[in-house]
Amino acid sequence: MHTLRKNRPLRRIVLASAATVSGMVLLLSLKPHTTPSVAGLGSSPAPYTSSSTSSGTTGSSGSATGTRTLTGDSVQTRYGPVQVRVTLTNGKLTDVTAVTYPQDNPRDQQINSYAIPQLTREALTAQSADIDTVSGATYTSDGYRQSLQSALDSASR
């Protein structure tokens, strides 16, 4: 006799319930994929801080030669402030470091550990703030781009 005969509906219900519970246990026991920590940003980024920092410059004054380090404006995004620091050598963008970015929770950390290095690579390649938005990190990308543009604007003053 077959165990799922139509004249035994209670047996079918019990087996279907057991299969559903087993499937849910297996699904919930999966661990999410973890992304690598933020690396390759030039220097270790400062942790997320809620204090706002004004833009400023260090290094040599107003000339296009030499090395200048400029900090962009802190841009408030939906998930927290984003601020970048750029290094210009002889007028060329040589380093971009994310000083402040959202990392309050694991999801922010996961998104930004992927987005920040990609945005940095794009900025160094483009030599400007005209960079693409990273999919899944729209708010961080917009804040990064605005802060980068303010740092570059302050270099031309």
Kindly list the domain boundaries of the chain, sorted by start residue. 1-30, 56-155
**pLDDT at 141 (0 to 100):** 93
What's the DSSP call for residue 31?
P
Q: Contact 153/80 with Cβ under 8 angstroms?
A: no
Tokens of 115: 């987005």
**Which residue ranges of the chain lie beneath pLDDT 70?**
1-6, 31-64
CATH of domain 56-155: 3.90.1010.20
Q: Torsion angle, CA of 135/140/143/146, rounded to 10 degrees? A: -40
What is d(CA 13, CA 1) in angstroms, rounded to the nearest whole number? 18
- The predicted pLDDT at position 59 comes to 40
| Residue 19, pLDDT score | 93
- Integer angstrom CA distances of residue 109 from 46, 91, 104: 13, 32, 7
